Amino acid sequence: MARTVPASTRIGFTALAWLIALLLFSPILWVLLTAFKTEAEAIAASPTFLPQNFTLENFAAVQDRSDYFKHATNSIIVSVGSTLLGLVIGIPAAWAMAFAPTKRTKDVLMWMLSTKMMPAVGVLIPIYLIFRDLRLLDTVHGLTLIMTLINLPIIIWMLYTYFKEIPVDILEAARMDGAELWNEIVHVLVPMAVPGIASTLLLNVILAWNEAFWTITLTSGRAGTLTAFISSFSSPQGLFLAKLSAASLLAIAPILLMGWFSQKQLVRGLTFGAVK
């Protein structure tokens, strides 16, 4: 029998949830409102909440100064490309760890997870020198490669946890029917793991889209993504808050829309075993 929760408790938790949501959303709301203000309003000692002189000049100035669509295209290629490449590597790796483990499997998983605990700046010099020698600096494919390496531990961990929820008997039945390893993964495992794979894809696209350290460090202009696009509006001449807000809004809008429309799939995948 379901436990009865008092109405006052439900109202209290609902109000608390809304308060937390508003606190989390407040920076985005501030960016949204500031993007439509003039520079004078944005830097005023007593700023107003709503724009007093609604303007679109900041968006025009942003586009005139930097090619937004070029940076957006680079972001799409890098985030989607690195995630798909990570899935191609991660699905067989997660299958091996979930269904053919060895005594070192848990050690390998912990080692992969430990690489995410190391500050990125700790490996900046060797990676920069490697990219320089291989002529990968300021290239989209070089940035896609580093994004794949950065997010691969997360991809494998999420897929591994989800694959562990799939009954081994189903895969064994496929083997008894004569399915080879490739067919077992592609035609049996992957269709059953679609929610987990989809949530892994969406989460890692978001992580790659928001990555700033490597995109700013390894690019200069040709392969710059939207994070580099935003950073270009912070200059020695000053911090142009209105233009910076307009650039930030243009950069986060696509990923916010993607997250909004895919939230059901993302939550479904995360709650069905991808992450615990």
Mind listing the pLDDT tens digit for each residue in 126-179? Answer: 999 999 999 999 999 999 999 999 999 999 999 998 898 888 888 888 888 888
How far apart are the C-alpha atoms of 44 and 31, rounded to whole Å?
A: 15
Judged against a pLDDT cut of 70, whether residue 85 lies above it is answered with: yes
How far apart are the C-alpha atoms of 179 and 193, rounded to whole Å?
A: 18
Quote the pLDDT of residue 274: 41
Judged against a pLDDT cut of 60, whether residue 1 lies above it is answered with: no
- Mean pLDDT over residues 18-39, rounded? 91
The amino acid sitting at 275 is V
Quote the pLDDT of residue 271: 65
CATH of the domain spanning 67-233, picked from 3.40.50.920, 1.10.10.60, 1.10.3720.10, 1.10.150.20:
1.10.3720.10
Stronger pLDDT, 8 or 270, i.e. the higher one: 8
Judged against a pLDDT cut of 80, whether residue 90 lies above it is answered with: yes
| SS3 assignment, position 239 | strand
- Among residues 260, 143, 275, 261, which one has the least CA distance to residue 209? 143
Judged against a pLDDT cut of 70, whether residue 275 lies above it is answered with: no
Q: Is 15 exposed, middle or buried (0-12, 13-18, 19+ CB in 10 A)?
A: exposed
The amino acid sitting at 121 is V
How far apart are the C-alpha atoms of 162 and 72, rounded to whole Å?
A: 32
| SS3 assignment, position 212 | coil
Mind listing the pLDDT tens digit for each residue in 223-247? Answer: 889 988 888 777 655 567 888 899 8
How far apart are the C-alpha atoms of 58 and 9, rounded to whole Å?
A: 46
Judged against a pLDDT cut of 90, whether residue 186 lies above it is answered with: no
Mind listing the pLDDT tens digit for each residue in 93-139? Answer: 999 999 988 999 989 989 988 888 888 899 999 999 999 999 999 99
How far apart are the C-alpha atoms of 219 and 138, rounded to whole Å?
A: 4
How far apart are the C-alpha atoms of 189 and 119, rounded to whole Å?
A: 35
Three-point CA angle 193, 196, 198, nearest 5°: 105
What is the Cα 89 distance to its own chain's centre? 18
User: Cβ(199)–Cβ(266) under 8 Å?
Assistant: yes
C-alpha distance from residue 22 to each of 11, 25, 27, 30 (Å): 16, 5, 9, 12
User: Cβ(92)–Cβ(182) under 8 Å?
Assistant: no
For residue 60 the two structure tokens come to 């025009």
- Among residues 87, 80, 86, which one has the least CA distance to residue 140? 80
Kind and range of the H or E run holding 156: helix 140-163
How far apart are the C-alpha atoms of 261 and 121, rounded to whole Å?
A: 34
Quote the pLDDT of residue 236: 58
- What is the residue-averaged pLDDT of the chain? 87
Judged against a pLDDT cut of 80, whether residue 2 lies above it is answered with: no
Question: Which of 4-8, 47-51, 53-57 has the least mean pLDDT?
Answer: 4-8
Residues 6+ apart with CB under 8 A from 156: 90, 93, 94, 97, 109, 112
User: Cβ(25)–Cβ(45) under 8 Å?
Assistant: no
Mind listing the pLDDT tens digit for each residue in 188-197? Answer: 888 888 888 9
Question: Which of 6-20, 66-80, 252-266 has the least mean pLDDT?
Answer: 252-266
Judged against a pLDDT cut of 90, whether residue 208 lies above it is answered with: yes
Q: State percent of the chain over pLDDT 90.
A: 38
In the chain, CATH 1.10.3720.10 covers 67-233
pTM greater than 0.75 (yes/no): yes
User: Cβ(82)–Cβ(207) under 8 Å?
Assistant: no
What is the Cα 188 distance to its own chain's centre? 28
Stronger pLDDT, 267 or 240, i.e. the higher one: 240
Which 8-state DSSP code applies to residue 270? I
